[in-house]
Amino acid sequence: MKIYITSVFVDDQAKARDFYTSVLGFVIKHEIPLGEDSWLTLTAPDALDGPELLLEPSGHRAVGPFREALLSDGIPFASFEVTDVNAEYERLLGLGVEFTQTPTVMGPVTTAVFNDTCGNLIQITNYQD
């Protein structure tokens, strides 16, 4: 068994597509129109056949309270691995990304948390052996 698709709820798929591709650097794998929304998945540019991130519309009634609880408690909805958290933090800051946690070393892991502009906190992380 392996991870095939995981999702992140977004308020606006077009805005999310732009942020996740233009700012974060993911690439579109599938964008299939389904009425008002699309089946919109992204992958890492160096792992086109790897796990996909679904930009899931947040219209379901359970999503709002769930995301509000995560946001109010400062809990990231998803975590993405990067090679160098400090360098990625600086790159994203330069693009205007708002961070709620600066790079923080926690034992063998360094993390930082930012607002994805689509209703979520996202963590970037790097694990050092």
Q: What is the pLDDT of residues 2-44, one digit of tens each?
A: 999 999 999 999 999 999 999 999 999 999 999 999 999 999 9
Beta pairing partners, 115: 121
pLDDT tens by residue, 55-94 = 999 999 999 999 999 999 999 999 999 999 999 999 999 9
pLDDT tens by residue, 98-122 = 999 999 999 999 999 999 999 999 9
Cβ proximity of 113 and 76 under 8 Å: yes
Could you give the 3-state DSSP secondary structure of residue 61?
A: coil
Domain ranges of the chain: 5-127
Cβ proximity of 16 and 55 under 8 Å: yes
Three-class SS of 51-64: CEEEEEECCCCCHH
5-127 CATH = 3.10.180.10
Measuring CA to CA, which residue among 102, 106, 108 is closest to residue 127? 108
Residue 8 identity (one-letter amino acid): V
